[in-house]
Amino acid sequence: MKSRTVIFHIDVNSAFLSWSACYRKNVLGEEVDLRTVPSIVGGNQEARHGIVLAKSTPAKRYGIVTGEPILTAKRKCPNLIVIPPDFHLYVESSQALIELLRRYSEQVVQYSIDEAWADFTGYELLYGDMESFAWKLKKQIREELGFTVNIGISSNRLLAKMAGDLKKPDLVHTLFPEEIEEKLWPLPVERLFLVGGSAAAKLHDLGIHTIGDLARYDVNALKAHLKKHGEVIWNYAWGREEEEMLEAREGNKVYGNSMTTPVNVTDARYAKQLLLSLSETVGMRLRADQARISCVSITLRDCEFSNRNRQTQLESATDVTEEIYETACRLFDELWDGRPLRLIGISTSRVSYEEYRQYNLFDQGRYDKLEKCNRAIDTIRSRFGEDAVMRASFLKSGISHTGGGLNKEKRARTAGKRSSREKGGYSDG
C-alpha cells in the first residue's frame, strides 16, 4: 500500500530578528534577548527611507508591522530598539537550518532564506507519527540552533506552507485536503498564498472577503477580472498547487548578489559599475522566476571588514534591471563615506508574483519600454549565451557585465528553463 505524501514546511519565526538576537546573546554575550523586548531589524534608524524588515512579538503588540517606515514604528514605540540587518549572518543561519533538515530527509528544497520544504513521505516507519515527529524536530531546532520555527504539514507544498502560517510562533499545524473547509476557508482572503494587497482589493470589490468566498466564486468570472492570476489563486483556495509555478521559484525567493573586489575600491564611478553588474544578475533571476521585488538593500564592506547596510522600499514592485540599479546607486550615495571598499552587495526582498504593476502617473511608458527591452535581452542571452548582449559601459571596463552570485552556467540553465516555459520567448513585434 502506497504511503500518503507528507510534506513539511519549515518557517523561521521573525527570522532576521531571531538570528540577530541569537548572535548578540550567544556570541556577543549581550544580556538582553531582542526577542523579549520591543525591537526591530530595519537598518540605520537615522535613514529616512528605512523600513521594518523584522519585528519581535513585543513590538508587534504596539501595532508595528513589517514594511512600514522606521520613523513610523518609532512613533508607535519611542523606546523601540532598532538594529541593522546582517545579511551574511542570515545566510549562515539559513544554511545551518538546511543542513539540520537534511539529516532527516533526503528531499529538502529551500524556498527562501527562512523557509524550506522537506518531503517525509514514507518516513513513518522511521520516525513514527508525523505530527509528533514535527514537534520533536521543532524542539531540536530550538535547542541546537537557538531559534524557533513553525512547521506546517500536508500532502502538498502549498497546503504545508498555508498550515505553517495558521498561527505563530513556535507551533506545528496540519492542513490536509479534508481540513481545508474547516481551517482554511474561514481565513481572510489576503492570507492566501500569492494574494497581495492589490489583488485583495480587487477581490473585495467583487464581494470576496474570505478564502472560502474565493473558492466558491465562479472561476471564469475571476479570470475576467484578474486574468491568469485569478485562476491560480482560485485553485489555491481549493488546495491545488501549480506544480510549474512553485517549481520555478524553489530556492529563489531571496534575490541578491555580492562581489568581493580584488583591490580596494575608492572611486564612486567604479563602485557603481559593480552595482550595475550585480543588478544585471539580480534582474535576470527575477525575470526568470517571473517575480518582482519592492525592497532593495545594499551592503558595503570596507577595508577594515566593517559592514554597513541601507535599504529602501519601492513605490511599486519591479523586475527591471535599471530600476534596481538606480535605487542601489541612490542608496550607495547615501551610505558611502569614502572609506575604501572590499565588498559590494545588493539584496532584494518583499517578493511578489502578481502579473501587474501599480503605476504612478509618469512612469508607465518608461517602465514598459525597459521591461520589454530587458526581456528581449534575456531571450537572446538564453539562446546565444550570456555574453551575446552587453552594455557598452562594460566593453573596456575590465568588469564582468554579469558579476557575483550564481556562475554563468547556473544562470544559463535558469534562463533556459524560463525560455522553454515561454515556448520560444518573445516575438519581434
CATH number of 231's domain:
1.10.150.20
Measuring CA to CA, which residue among 383, 195, 406, 394 is closest to residue 283? 406
Question: Is 199 found in the same domain as 180?
Answer: no
φ, ψ (nearest 5 deg) of residue 300: -120, 130
Question: Is 160 found in the same domain as 13?
Answer: yes
CA–CA distance, 364 with 355 (Å, rounded to integer): 15
Instruction: Write out pLDDT tens, residues 391-403.
Output: 766 665 556 666 6
CA–CA distance, 201 with 203 (Å, rounded to integer): 5
Helix axes 15-22, 87-101, angle to 10 degrees: 100
pLDDT band at 292 (very low <50, low <70, confident <90, very high): confident
The identity of residue 74, as a single letter, is: K
The identity of residue 235, as a single letter, is: N
Give the whole-number percent of the chain exceeding pLDDT 70: 80
CA–CA distance, 198 with 203 (Å, rounded to integer): 9
User: Do residues 412 and 382 make contact, with C-beta atoms less than 8 angstroms apart?
Assistant: yes
Q: Is the pLDDT of residue 390 over 90?
A: no
Mean pLDDT of the residues in the chain: 82
Q: Which of 70-79, 111-120, 193-202 has the weakest average pLDDT?
A: 193-202
Task: Count the domains in the chain.
Answer: 3
Given 30, 68, 99, 115, the catalytic residue: 115
Question: Is 18 found in the same domain as 1?
Answer: yes
DSSP at 146: S
Catalytic status, residue 371 = no
Going from the C-alpha of 248 to that of each of 82, 275, 287, 413, 415, the distances in angstroms are 35, 26, 11, 12, 11
Q: Which of 152-161, 201-210, 317-326, 346-355 has the weakest average pLDDT?
A: 346-355
Indicate whether 140 belongs to any domain. Answer: yes
Indicate whether 426 belongs to any domain. Answer: no
Question: Is 100 found in the same domain as 172?
Answer: yes
Instruction: Write out pLDDT tens, residues 123-153.
Output: 988 999 999 999 999 999 999 999 999 999 9
pTM to 2 decimal places: 0.61
Measuring CA to CA, which residue among 12, 73, 10, 9 is closest to residue 41? 73
Q: What is the mean pLDDT of residues 350-368?
A: 62
Measuring CA to CA, which residue among 124, 125, 100 is closest to residue 110? 100
Which residue is listed with cell 564611478? 269
Give burial (CB, 10 Å; 0-12/13-18/19+) of 20.
buried
Q: Which of 79-83, 84-88, 132-136 has the weakest average pLDDT?
A: 84-88
pLDDT at 165: 93
Question: Is 192 found in the same domain as 160?
Answer: no
Q: What is the mean pLDDT of residues 192-213?
A: 90
CA 387-392-395 angle, to 5 degrees, is 65
Q: What is the mean pLDDT of residues 221-227?
A: 89
